[in-house]
Structure 1
């Protein structure tokens, strides 16, 4: 695998940005990791970070490079600050950036496939919310998306105050009455997705540790998705909101993706 640490300019955000990109590389003499790469443009996973992290965190806390190597999978890891992957009420248009501009820039710089069947997203916590938002909002572009311990219910952001202060929540989503039921509400997006034919719905993978403080809202989203008949795979087990759990689960998520090992 090759690692590209990339700085680039975003017209949408009006500022310089960073992303880490893992790329399959065919090698013969690499010790400890077999270099595999299929011909043509690579399938791609957009791997999203959590609230307190940045584009470097997946490489620092997990073995994502080693896991992705088995599949010849490119992994794009952008930085989006504390934006909740949203066009913020007061702030930058990070949703437009990650859903529209980032794939265009990454695809222009690297040999990434733009076919739906080769395009996936995953993330943890805030990034789990972002990954599901990509799949539910852009089902024509994502074949499968995965949420690890996702913050999936924006209603809880207004009620609990334990993830971020209410003032910060409102600077991102606006007031609760305008946020709930809108384009940032995964429950409302799931309702819309259910109206599409089954073959047009992306596959959903959701997991959460039973000791995680976000467990209740994960159960709420799981039950809602199941009531709609969405193609959801749900797994739970012992675990808190921590990297040991996510390192194990991102490997499980890669195994679940509709990819083949090379």
Structure 2
């Protein structure tokens, strides 16, 4: 399977960004497609095998045809871009909502509504996906977070966010994720995701919350992607 590739010079980040883009086999400019924006794009391609899964699910007509944009991140800049306290976080959110969406809508035949744009990510990628959707709910109508690396401080920020438009959020966390080592120390992601779930239920959010038997690892995230895609697009 050949991926398309978009090179984007970002004024917000001051960098040149390479964006691999998956197009469905039956892609035609005569139709409009929803778009899935994927954090940790290279990991979702290699360890998540997401493009292959999309191709299988499209072939079997399990979900409608969609476009997926895989957003690579330099691991040395991951915290700076993905964590709300990171030096590049605000710029990265603007890059996603303004530059990436603008470039994808300009180059491909996409649905123009926010409800047709979905963000997905794991761990800190789940955090940046959620906070980007909360900041730009008219641009991104759906978000899926796999084992979002939340803590009490980040949950409080979600609580303080006013959300006036509907948002569809899918959260999942492993039952063994009670002491996940991070550069912020050990995090109990089961507890923090339960608190996040309860906070989101007080807002204009349609929420799906799932648990799985497992820990903070790609083997589990990859195995759950079919379930997530069916929940978001099936």
Class of the TM-score when normalised by the shorter of the 2 chains: 0.7 to 0.9
1:127 and 2:102 equivalent?
Answer: no
> Residues 241 and 2 from structure 1, CA distance in 2 versus in 1: closer, same or farther, beyond 3 angstroms?
same
Matches within 5 A, 1:59-74: 59-69=45-55, 70=58, 71-74=64-67
1:201 and 2:166 equivalent?
Answer: yes
> Residues 128 and 44 from structure 1, CA distance in 2 versus in 1: closer, same or farther, beyond 3 angstroms?
same
SS in 1 for 2:209: strand
Q: How far off its partner does 1:239 sit?
A: 1.2
1:233 and 2:208 equivalent?
Answer: yes
Matches within 5 A, 1:161-200: 185-189=157-161, 192-193=162-163, 196=164, 200=165
Q: How far off its partner does 1:133 sit?
A: 1.5
Unmatched runs of 5 consecutive residues or more in structure 1? 27-35, 50-54, 157-179
Q: Any conservation in 2 of the 1:84–1:126 contact (CA below 8 Å)?
A: no
Indicate the residue corresponding to 2:144 in structure 1.
Answer: 146
CA distance in 1, matches of 2:228, 2:116: 15
Q: How far off its partner does 1:88 sit?
A: 6.4
RMSD: 2.5
Indicate the residue corresponding to 1:47 in structure 2.
Answer: 38
Q: TM-score, normalised by structure 2?
A: 0.79
> Residues 40 and 222 from structure 1, CA distance in 2 versus in 1: closer, same or farther, beyond 3 angstroms?
same
SS in 2 for 1:56: helix
Following TM superposition, the consecutive aligned residue runs of length 4 or more in structure 1 with deviations greater than 4 angstroms are 36-39, 86-89
Q: How far off its partner does 1:59 sit?
A: 0.8
- Compare 12-21 and 226-235 and name the one that shifted more: 226-235
Indicate the residue corresponding to 1:221 in structure 2.
Answer: 196
Q: How far off its partner does 1:245 sit?
A: 0.9
- Compare 216-225 and 106-115 and name the one that shifted more: 106-115
SS in 2 for 1:9: strand
CA distance in 2, matches of 1:253, 1:186: 22
Q: How far off its partner does 1:10 sit?
A: 1.1
Q: How far off its partner does 1:202 sit?
A: 1.2
CA distance in 1, matches of 2:141, 2:127: 17
Bigger proportion of residues as strand: 2
Q: TM-score, normalised by structure 1?
A: 0.72
Q: How far off its partner does 1:45 sit?
A: 0.5
Q: How many residues align?
A: 212
The one of 44, 54, 57 equivalent to 1:58 is: 44
Unmatched runs of 5 consecutive residues or more in structure 2? 59-63, 181-188
Q: Any conservation in 2 of the 1:5–1:19 contact (CA below 8 Å)?
A: yes
Q: How far off its partner does 1:86 sit?
A: 6.1
Q: Any conservation in 2 of the 1:45–1:75 contact (CA below 8 Å)?
A: yes
1:255 and 2:220 equivalent?
Answer: no
Indicate the residue corresponding to 2:97 in structure 1.
Answer: 99
